[in-house]
Structure 1
Amino acid sequence: MNNDTIEGKWKQLKGEAKIQWGKLTNDDLDVVEGHKDKLVGKIQERYGKSKEEAEAEVNRFWK
């Protein structure tokens, strides 16, 4: 699976992402569209995390 985008499976994974990061809105997840960098940015924005922290969480989620 491409590390930068999982667009094809994003509709399936949106629910799991919503459970993982409850502060993300449906609009946030629609904007992400399966792009890793966009998800990292939204997590940083909503949770006030560093880029490194958000990337680590997303990397665990992507696997």
Structure 2
Amino acid sequence: MNWDQVQGKWKEVKGNAKAKWGDLTDDDLTEIDGNREVLEGKIQAKYGKSKEEAKKEVDDFLNSSDV
């Protein structure tokens, strides 16, 4: 799945995102609203990850069967 598809299905996908990144609140997920850069920023802030680590986690999430 590519990010355009995720963005279009964000309401469906955000449950999977919440399962993967449990520290993200419902408010965070609403704020992200399918925006990859905002998701990566939230992962950086909540988990203390570098930009590259956050990007890789999102890439892995996209490539997983969970999306």
Same fold (TM over 0.5): yes
Query: Structure 1: any 5+ residue segments left out of the alignment?
Result: none
Deviation at 1:6, TM superposition (A): 3.0
Q: Greater RCO between the two (CA within 8 Å, min separation 6)?
A: 2
Asked if 2 retains the 8 angstrom alpha-carbon contact of 1:10 and 1:33, the reply is: yes
Query: Which is further off, 21-30 or 1-10?
Result: 1-10
Which position in structure 2 is the counterpart of 1:56?
Answer: 56
SS for the counterpart of 1:58 is helix
Which position in structure 2 is the counterpart of 1:41?
Answer: 41
- Paired with 1:55 and 1:24, the residues of 2 have a C-alpha distance of 16
Deviation at 1:8, TM superposition (A): 1.4
After superposition, residues 9-48 of structure 1 pair within 5 angstroms as 9-48=9-48
SS for the counterpart of 2:23 is coil
Query: Structure 2: any 5+ residue segments left out of the alignment?
Result: none
Change over 3 Å in CA distance of 1:24–1:46 after alignment to 2 = same
What's the TM-score once normalised by structure 2's chain length? 0.83
Q: 1:13-54 CA deviation, whole Å, 9 max, x = no partner?
A: 000000000000000011111111110000001001000000
Percent identical pairs in the alignment equals 56
SS for the counterpart of 2:9 is helix
SS for the counterpart of 1:6 is helix
How many correspondences in the alignment?
63
